[in-house]
Amino acid sequence: MDGLAVTAVLVVLVFVTLAKGVKTVPQGYKHIVQRLGKYHSTLNPGLNLIIPYIDDVAYKVTTKDIVLDIPSQEVITEDNAVIIANAVAYINIVSPEKAVYGVEDYTIAIQNLVQTALRSIVGEMSLDSALSSRDQIKAKLKAGISDDISDWGITLKTVEIQDINPSPTMQRAMEEQAAAERQRRAAVTKAEGEKQAAILEAEGRLEASRRDAQAEVVLAKASGAAIELVSEAVKDDELPVMYLLGEKYTEALKSLAASSNAKTVVFPADLQQALRAVLNRN
């Protein structure tokens, strides 16, 4: 019984030793081996042998591209506008031993590095420029952090700006500003229309006055020509002129007497002379 127990213990010990000494690394991963607590080697994908009880697999690192989501953050632009921006970074670990020994947690380190660089880049831009220059921000961001993370054995494949928008408060302010600008343009357009209408109306009145003046000149010239013709016709004989004037005077009296509102009877200033002229005429 004692011999059987010892044999069983030895068999178990052999299996445990083999399990500790033979390591299979899957494709897309690399394992970091420490010997007595110190970095010793990096195991590539496939079957690998290590010294049992002395060597130990301390870290398992993926060699596939890693997608890091950079949390949203508030960023202040050069013109003191607040925008909310987030990004996504694509990295690849080319030196696993540097990634695990060079920084405590490379994912958190890269996230903080991208956030800091993003705040610095956007802080040097105006609001309008930041909202319309994603490619420029992307290029500066990649150039700014690639050298830093290369010391950790990590390559930055690319970084993309997912969202970059004004903060809710800034959006409301921009909407109010846009509404005020639309109202200002409407007021300017209305004032310009009223101005043009007033100018056209004034020009119309000016043209009408000019034409009235021209008409009066024409009438005055016509009256002057008529007077010259009459003067030429009567020469020194006053009787035809007096007759015409009397006829006009009589017609005016008839019109005045025919009016329903007429309450005054007008007689000639020299009534006797007028009657005498009428009697002599008969």
Confidence of residue 279 (pLDDT cuts 50, 70, 90): very low
62-86: burial string, b at 16+ Cβ within 10 Å, e else: eeeebebebeebebebeeebebbbb
Which residues are CB-neighbours of 137 under 8 A, at least 6 positions away?
Answer: 118, 121, 122, 125, 130, 161, 164
Do 212 and 177 fall within a single domain?
yes
Q: Which residue has the higher pLDDT, 131 or 27?
A: 27
Count the neighbouring beta carbons within 10 Å of the beta carbon of residue 139.
13
Predicted pLDDT at 217: 75
Predicted pLDDT at 171: 67
User: Residues 35-54: what's their mean pLDDT?
Assistant: 91
Q: Identify the CATH number of the domain in which residue 150 sits.
A: 3.30.479.30
Do 41 and 80 fall within a single domain?
no
- Pull the structure tokens for residue 83: 């925008």
Confidence of residue 256 (pLDDT cuts 50, 70, 90): low
Residues 71/111, Cβ–Cβ less than 8 Å: yes
Domain holding 85, by residue range, is 66-166
Do 70 and 160 fall within a single domain?
yes
Helix (H) or strand (E) holding 87: strand 82-93
Do 154 and 198 fall within a single domain?
no
Q: Is the pLDDT of residue 282 over 50?
A: no
Per-residue pLDDT reduced to its tens digit, 141-159: 999 898 889 999 999 999 9
How far is it, in rounded angstroms, from Cα 233 to Cα 227? 10
| CA geometry: angle 259, 261, 263, nearest 5 deg | 100
Do 88 and 152 fall within a single domain?
yes
Do 56 and 71 fall within a single domain?
no
Do 132 and 106 fall within a single domain?
yes
Do 109 and 186 fall within a single domain?
no
Do 183 and 230 fall within a single domain?
yes
Residues linked to residue 186 through DSSP beta bridges, in sequence order? none
Per-residue pLDDT reduced to its tens digit, 67-85: 999 999 988 888 888 889 9
Per-residue pLDDT reduced to its tens digit, 167-219: 777 667 666 777 677 778 878 888 888 888 888 888 888 888 888 888 777 77
Predicted pLDDT at 234: 58
User: For the chain, what is the domain count?
Assistant: 4
Confidence of residue 107 (pLDDT cuts 50, 70, 90): very high
Do 75 and 141 fall within a single domain?
yes
Domain C-terminal end among 214, 234, 254: 234
Helix (H) or strand (E) holding 217: helix 168-234
Residues 157/65, Cβ–Cβ less than 8 Å: yes
Do 73 and 159 fall within a single domain?
yes
Residues 69/161, Cβ–Cβ less than 8 Å: no
CA dihedral 228, 233, 235, 238 (to 10 degrees): -100
Confidence of residue 270 (pLDDT cuts 50, 70, 90): low
Confidence of residue 29 (pLDDT cuts 50, 70, 90): very high
Do 114 and 26 fall within a single domain?
no
The two beta strands, 82-93 and 66-76, are antiparallel
